[in-house]
Amino acid sequence: MSIPVPGADCTVDELMVVTLAREFTNDTRAFNGAVSFIPVCAYLLARRTHAPDLVWAASSIAVDADPDRLAESTLSDAIWTGASMLSNSPFDFWAYAQGARYNTFAFRGAQMDRYGNVNNTVIGPYDDPKVRLPGGGGMADLGGMIPNVYLWSTTHNDRTFVEQLDFRSGLGWGDGGDHRRELGFSGGPQLCVTNLCVMDFHPESRAMRLRSVHPGVTAADVQDATGFGVLLPDDGSVPDTALPTETELRILRDEVDPTSMRLREFV
Amino acid sequence: MSIPVPGADCTVDELMVVTLAREFTNDTRAFNGAVSFIPVCAYLLARRTHAPDLVWAASSIAVDADPDRLAESTLSDAIWTGASMLSNSPFDFWAYAQGARYNTFAFRGAQMDRYGNVNNTVIGPYDDPKVRLPGGGGMADLGGMIPNVYLWSTTHNDRTFVEQLDFRSGLGWGDGGDHRRELGFSGGPQLCVTNLCVMDFHPESRAMRLRSVHPGVTAADVQDATGFGVLLPDDGSVPDTALPTETELRILRDEVDPTSMRLREFV
Amino acid sequence: MDKVRSLEDAAAIVNDGATIGVGGLSMNGAPMAFVRELIRREARDLTVVAIVSSMAVDWLVAAGCVRKVVTGLVSFEGFGLAPNFRRAAQAGDIEVEEYSEHLLICRLQAAAYRLPFVPTKAGIGTDVLDLHPDTTRLERDSATGELYVACTPLPLDVGIVHAHEADRLGNVRVNPKLIWMDSDIVRAAAATIVTVERMADHATFVAAPEHTTYPRFTVDAVVEVPWGAYPTSLFPEYSHDAGFYQAYLAATREPEQWSHFWKSRVGAPETQGEFLEANGGAETILSIRQGT
Amino acid sequence: MDKVRSLEDAAAIVNDGATIGVGGLSMNGAPMAFVRELIRREARDLTVVAIVSSMAVDWLVAAGCVRKVVTGLVSFEGFGLAPNFRRAAQAGDIEVEEYSEHLLICRLQAAAYRLPFVPTKAGIGTDVLDLHPDTTRLERDSATGELYVACTPLPLDVGIVHAHEADRLGNVRVNPKLIWMDSDIVRAAAATIVTVERMADHATFVAAPEHTTYPRFTVDAVVEVPWGAYPTSLFPEYSHDAGFYQAYLAATREPEQWSHFWKSRVGAPETQGEFLEANGGAETILSIRQGT
C-alpha cells in the first residue's frame, strides 16, 4: 500500500528508502535478513548513486549482488543475480560478522524501545505468550556484533514503540548511556527511520531523538504515536525530512525495485 | 635403503607396512601428515586387502584418494588422484579431527618414550637447543583428539627410544596409567612398529610391551636398543612378527608403492 | 557399504522422543519429504532443532509430532507468522526454547568439536540468555574481563538435511556449494540422513572432488527424493512455492478448510509423486523450476 | 577501488617490526615471490607467523629479516631440516615460539572473531602449552570440569597469501578451492596482500560466484606474479621444485657455495622473470608444470 507524501512527488516508502540510503557510504559493508525490503532498497540505491563501492551481501550470502528487481523474499536466491561471491553461512558469514568485516545491519521489531532494542519473540510473557512471534533470529547476534545498526518501522504507533519491551530479542543501546560499550560492543544504533519521522540517538543518554518529521507530520503526532517520551533536537526545532531528488526516485523506481516489493512492508 | 628380513622373502619396510596394515579395519578413518610413507602404505594396503571401506584422507585433504603410486612428499597433491572429496583444512579437517570422525592417526618422533609420547621439537633445552627439530606440527593436537594412535620408527635405538623426552611435542599415554583419560581423551597409542619389533602398551601401566620381534632380532637386541625397560608379554615368550603373505607383498610392491617411496624413511 | 535407503527405512531411524536437527533456512532447502514421512508415521515427542525454519517446523507441530522446538526463528517471512507454531506455542502445547542463530550454531559446534563450550558474543545484553542460563552461560574472560557466552554442546540424535546429489557410498554434493548452516547439523548428529534430488555415479565425485560437501563417513543414510525440498526452495534448481504458502495460511484461518487442506495436500498422499500431484503436479513443478 | 599493486608497493605495506602471517603449508602454496621482495628490501625485526612452513621461513631467516618465528612446524619434509631456521634457532639468533597447528589456528580465529579466546583440546598433556601459558591457558570448564585450552587472539599486522586469480577490485579465487589454512591468516590480519598467478576479469567472478574465496572487502592489495609460489607448489598448476630444495640444502652445507647460491638464485634477480631464469628458466617451469 503506497502512501503519498503531502506536497511531494513521492511516497512514504520512497522517502524512507532515500533517507536511509543517504546514510550509507563507500565504507558501508552490509547484509540483510528476512523481510528487509526498505534497507535492501537503500543499499542498492546508495550503491547506484553516491556510494559505488558499498558492499551488500544479499540474504547475507550473495556478495555484491546486482538484481534487476527484488523478489517477494529478501532471503530468496532470486536477488542473488550478479553476485561476485556466494558465501557460506557458518564458515564465511559468521566470520565476517564477528570480525566486523561487515559493519552495517538493519532490523525492525514488533516492539522497539527508546534505546533501539527490539522484540520479535513474544507479546506477553515468554512462557504464556499472548502472541508468539517468529523469534529473534540473528538479532541477538548481530545487534551487538555489528557496529552500525539501523532501525526502521512502517508501523509507527504506540504498540510498536513501547516504554518497555516484553522481551529483548536484539540489542541496541541496551539500558542507554555507556551500557552497550560496557557489554563489550562498539558502535550502536545510528538511526531509526519510520513512516512518520527520522530519529537519531542522543549522544549521551542514547535515547531516541527526533531528527526530522516527514512532510505533513508534526512532532506532536510523533509523540502521540510513541509509547515513550521522544527527545527533541537541542534547538527545539524539528525540520522536515529532506525529500528525494528526481534522480534518486528514478533509480529507485526504475532500477532498484521496479516491481515495488518494498510495499510488502506496508500491509 | 632396503633391509632384508632374514629367512623371509621380504624387507623390513615391507614387514612394517604389512604389520600396521593388519591392524586397520573397515572402521578405520585415517589421514596422514608429512613424511608418513609407512602408515600411508599401510592404509592403502589394508584398503586393497581386508578393509575395503577404510577411509584415508591423503595429506589430511583428499578423502578416499587412490593414487597409482606414491610421491616424494606425503603432503603432495601428487597422491590425491582418485579422491572423492578435496576437503578444506580449517573448515572440514579440524571439524572431523576434533569430532573423532577421523579415528586413526600415526606419527613418529625424533624421540619417543615408554608411554608413546613423542618429541619432534628440540634435542636439548628448548631455549638453547642442541638440535632444533622441525616442531610438533599437528602432533600436540591429534595425539589427544584422535583415539587410535599408531607409532612407528625406522631408527630403533636408544637415541630415539629414550627414558625422558627433551620435550613432549605429542601426547601418547601421558604419564601412563589413567593419565590420558584424566586429561579428557579417549583411546591412546595402540601399537609401535619399528625396524626391530612390534610393541603394544600394557593395559594398566600403558608402558610399551614387546609383542613380537622381527625375524633375526631377539628381545635382548630390542632392550639393548631401547633407552627404557621394555616390558615382556605376560607369559614371557616373544613370538616372531608374522610375515607378510604373498598377496600382501604383491599388492604393496606392485600397486601401493611401486616406486618404493617408503624407503625414504630408511636413510 | 551401500547407504541408500527408502524414505520409510530412513524415517525409522528417528525414534519417538528423539532430538532431531532439521536443515534448511526459512523457505530454503528444508528436507520436506522426510518431514512428511515423519508425519505419516506419526512420530511423537520430538525435540526439533531448526536454526531458522518455516514450513518444516509448522508441519511437525501441526501433526502433533513435537514436544519442544529449539530455534532461532520460525516464520513464513512476508507471508505471515507460522500459524501452527504460533497457535501451539500460545496454547502451551509445545515448549519453545529460543536461541539466536549464532548461539544455536555455537551449541551445535560444541557438540561437533567435543568441547565443553564454544564462546561467542552473541546474545549479550538480550533476554535470550536468561531463557537457558545453563546452556548459554554469560562469563567473563579471566585475563581481560571481557564478557562472552559459553554455549554448551547440543548433540543431535539424528540430523536431516536435503541436498542435490549423492553416490551410493554416502558422499553428498551440495551443488554449487554449501550455503546455509546444514553442515553444523550434520556434524553435531550421531546419525545423519541426507535426502537428495538424485543419485549420482561415484565417478562424478571423483571427477570433481572439490564439490563434495559431506564425505561418506559423516553420512548414515541417503534417500533419493526428487523435489524433496518442496514447498521450500532448492537453490539453484527450484524456488519455494508461494502459492502453497498462501493457500496453507489461508486454510489455517478456517477450521473446516484446514482439516481438508492438511489431509489432501500434506498428510494423505502416499508417494512423493502423489504429493506433488496433490499440489498442482506438473503445473506447479514448471512454475517453480529455475534455470540452472 | 582498484587494489592492484606492484610487488614493491605491496611490500612497502610491511613495516620493520611488523607481525606478518605467511600462507601456504609446508612445500605447498606459499607466497614466495612476496617473501623474496621482503628480502630484497631488507625488511627487519619481523615476527613471522607461519602455521606449517618450509622455504618461506627459511629464506626470511637466512636474510636476517626475522626476530621471532611463531609456528607449528618448519621443515623440508623428506629433504631434511630447514637449514637456516635450524642454525639460527640453535645460535639464538631468532626466537622460536612453538605452537601446534590447531593452537595457532585457534589463536588466529580468536583474533578474527574478536573473542577473548577460542577453546580447543589441542596441546593438553604436552609441553607446548608451558611455552606460553598466557596465550594458551589450560583451564577447566566451570560446569563439567573438563580441561580445555583458551587460545588468546593473535592479530596480524599483515597477512600474505598466494592464490590463483583476482580481479582488480580484490576479489580472489583459489581454484579449485581453498585447501590449506590461508583463510585464517586473511581473517586475522589488519591488512591482507594476495599475490596471484594471474588477473582475471571481474565478469569471471560473477559467472562462477561459488568459486570466490576472499571477497574484496577482506583484501587490501592484489599483486600479479606468475609462478609466485615457486619453489613451492600451487595445486593443481605446478608442483614444488625438488631440485631447488636439494640444491639449496646442499649449498647450505658449504659456506662458500652458500653465499653464491643465495645471491645468484634468490637475492640478486630483480624481476620474477629473472628469478625463474636463474633457477632453470623454461626447463624448470616445464618440469614442475602439471596438467589442469
Say yes or no: B91 and B124 in one domain.
no
Say yes or no: B26 and B117 in one domain.
no
Segment C29-53, tens digit of pLDDT: 999 999 999 999 999 999 999 999 9
Say yes or no: A235 and A111 in one domain.
yes
Say yes or no: A176 and A125 in one domain.
yes
Report, as an integer, the average pLDDT of C43-72.
98
Say whether pLDDT at B265 is over 70.
Answer: yes
Quick one: which of C29, C31, C32, C34 has its CA closest to C5?
C34
Burial per residue of D190-210, b for 16 or more beta-carbon CB atoms within 10 angstroms, e otherwise: ebbbbbbbeebebeebbeebb
Alpha-carbon gap, residue A43 to A58, rounded angstroms? 10
Task: With beta carbons less than 8 A apart as the criterion, state whether B170 and B140 touch.
Answer: yes
Other Cβ atoms within 10 Å of B1 Cβ, number: 11
Alpha-carbon gap, residue A64 to A53, rounded angstroms? 9
Say yes or no: B216 and B257 in one domain.
no
Quick one: which of D160, D154, D215 has its CA closest to D182?
D160
Q: Which residue has the cell 586475522?
A: D188
- Chain C residue with CA closest to D115: the answer is C120
Alpha-carbon gap, residue D15 to D52, rounded angstroms? 23
Q: Does D116 touch chain C (CB under 8 A)?
A: yes
Report, as an integer, the average pLDDT of D240-257.
95
Q: Which residues of chain D from 82 to 141 reach within 8 Å of chain B, CB to CB?
A: 82, 85-86, 89-90, 92, 96, 98, 100-103, 105, 109, 120-128, 131
Report, as an integer, the average pLDDT of B178-194.
98
**DSSP-derived pairing of the beta strands B55-58 and B29-31:** parallel
Concatenate the DSSP letters of all residues of B126-146 into one string: TTS-SEE----TTHHHHHHH-
Alpha-carbon gap, residue A98 to A252, rounded angstroms? 31
Distance linking the first and last C-alpha atoms of chain A: 6
Provide the CA C259 distance to its chain's centre, in angstroms: 24
Say yes or no: B261 and B189 in one domain.
no
What would you measure as the largest C-alpha separation in chain B, in angstroms? Answer: 50
What residues in A contact D113, CB-CB < 8 Å?
95, 98-99
Say yes or no: A115 and A155 in one domain.
yes
Kind plus residue range of the DSSP H or E element containing B61: none
pLDDT attached to residue B236: 87
**CB-based contact D126 B75, cutoff 8 Å:** no
In order of their start, the domains of chain C are 7-99+154-284 (3.40.1080.10), 117-152 (no CATH)
Say yes or no: A250 and A159 in one domain.
no
Say yes or no: B46 and B163 in one domain.
no
Task: With beta carbons less than 8 A apart as the criterion, state whether D32 and D169 touch.
Answer: no
C-alpha cell at A195: 513512516
- Residue D206 has its nearest CB partner, among A26, A84, A98, at A84
Q: Which residue has the cell 503519498?
A: A4
Q: Tell me the one-letter amino acid at B247.
A: T
**CB-based contact A86 D210, cutoff 8 Å:** yes
Segment A178-231, tens digit of pLDDT: 999 999 999 999 999 999 999 999 999 999 999 999 999 999 999 999 999 999
Q: Which residues of chain C from 201 to 230 reach within 8 Å of chain D, CB to CB?
A: 210
Segment B22-44, tens digit of pLDDT: 999 999 999 999 999 999 999 99
Say whether pLDDT at A1 is over 80.
Answer: no
pLDDT attached to residue D240: 97
Segment C236-289, tens digit of pLDDT: 999 999 999 999 999 999 988 999 999 999 999 999 999 999 999 999 999 999
Say whether pLDDT at B76 is over 70.
Answer: yes
- Residue C209 has its nearest CB partner, among B26, B84, B101, at B84
Distance linking the first and last C-alpha atoms of chain D: 32
Task: With beta carbons less than 8 A apart as the criterion, state whether D79 and B264 touch.
Answer: no
Q: Tell me the one-letter amino acid at D143.
A: A
Q: Which residues of chain D from 178 to 217 reach within 8 Å of chain A, CB to CB?
A: 187, 202, 205-206, 209-210, 212, 215-217
Alpha-carbon gap, residue D199 to D161, rounded angstroms? 15
Find the radius of gyration of the CA atoms of chain C: 19
**CB-based contact D114 A100, cutoff 8 Å:** yes
Say whether pLDDT at C292 is over 80.
Answer: no
Alpha-carbon gap, residue D236 to B77, rounded angstroms? 8
Percent of chain B with pLDDT over 90: 97
Residues 6+ apart with CB under 8 A from C127: A121, A126, A167, A168, A169
Which of D210, D211, D212, D213 is the mutation pick for testing C, counting most C CBs within 10 A? D210
Quick one: which of B100, B115, B108 has its CA closest to B28?
B100
C-alpha cell at A117: 532494542
Task: With beta carbons less than 8 A apart as the criterion, state whether C5 and C221 touch.
Answer: yes
- Chain A residue with CA closest to D109: the answer is A95
Segment C111-158, tens digit of pLDDT: 999 999 999 999 999 999 999 999 999 999 999 999 999 999 999 999
pLDDT attached to residue C281: 97
Residues 6+ apart with CB under 8 A from B254: none
Task: With beta carbons less than 8 A apart as the criterion, state whether B21 and B256 touch.
Answer: no
Segment A53-108, tens digit of pLDDT: 999 999 999 999 999 999 999 999 999 999 999 999 999 999 999 999 999 999 99
C-alpha cell at B118: 613423542
Tell me the HSE value of D25 on the side-chain side, using a 13 A CA sphere.
Answer: 25
**CB-based contact D212 A63, cutoff 8 Å:** yes
Segment B7-20, tens digit of pLDDT: 999 999 999 999 99
Q: Is B255 helix (H, G, I), strand (E, B) or coil?
A: helix
Which of A36, A60, A70, A77 is the mutation pick for testing C, counting most C CBs within 10 A? A77
Average pLDDT, chain A: 97
Find the radius of gyration of the CA atoms of chain B: 18
The tally of domains found in chain B comes to 2
Other Cβ atoms within 10 Å of C94 Cβ, number: 22
pLDDT attached to residue B182: 98
- Chain A residue with CA closest to D2: the answer is A53
Report, as an integer, the average pLDDT of D156-178.
98
Say yes or no: A33 and A117 in one domain.
no
Say whether pLDDT at B110 is over 90.
Answer: yes
CA distance to partner chain C, nearest, from residue D153 (Å): 11
Say yes or no: A140 and A206 in one domain.
yes
Say yes or no: B70 and B112 in one domain.
no
Average pLDDT, chain C: 97
Contacting subunits of D (3+ beta carbon pairs below 8 A): A, B, C
C-alpha cell at D139: 583451564
Where are the extended beta strands (E) located within chain A?
Answer: 29-31, 55-58, 62-63, 85-86, 104-107, 111-112, 118-119, 122-123, 131-132, 148-153, 188-194, 197-201, 208-213
**CB-based contact D218 A53, cutoff 8 Å:** no
pTM above threshold 0.90: yes
pLDDT attached to residue C97: 98
What residues in A contact C81, CB-CB < 8 Å?
132-134
Alpha-carbon gap, residue A150 to C206, rounded angstroms? 47
| DSSP-derived secondary structure letter, D81 | B
Burial per residue of A181-200, b for 16 or more beta-carbon CB atoms within 10 angstroms, e otherwise: eebbbebbbbbbbbbbbbbb
Alpha-carbon gap, residue C244 to A53, rounded angstroms? 39
Model confidence band, residue A172 (pLDDT cutoffs 50, 70, 90): very high
Cβ-Cβ contacts under 8 Å between B and D: the total is 152
- Chain D residue with CA closest to C118: the answer is D119
Q: Does C175 touch chain B (CB under 8 A)?
A: no
What would you measure as the largest C-alpha separation in chain A, in angstroms? Answer: 50
Report, as an integer, the average pLDDT of A152-167.
98
CA D48, D54, D60, D64 dihedral sign is positive
C-alpha cell at B198: 612390534
Name the phi and psi angles at D236, rounded to 5. Answer: -100, 20
Say whether pLDDT at B1 is over 90.
Answer: no
Distance linking the first and last C-alpha atoms of chain B: 6
Say whether pLDDT at A50 is over 90.
Answer: yes
Alpha-carbon gap, residue B28 to C121, rounded angstroms? 38
pLDDT attached to residue C87: 97
Alpha-carbon gap, residue D82 to D246, rounded angstroms? 11
What residues pair up with B112 in beta bridges, in sequence order? Answer: B118, B161
Q: What's the domain range around B227?
A: 105-241
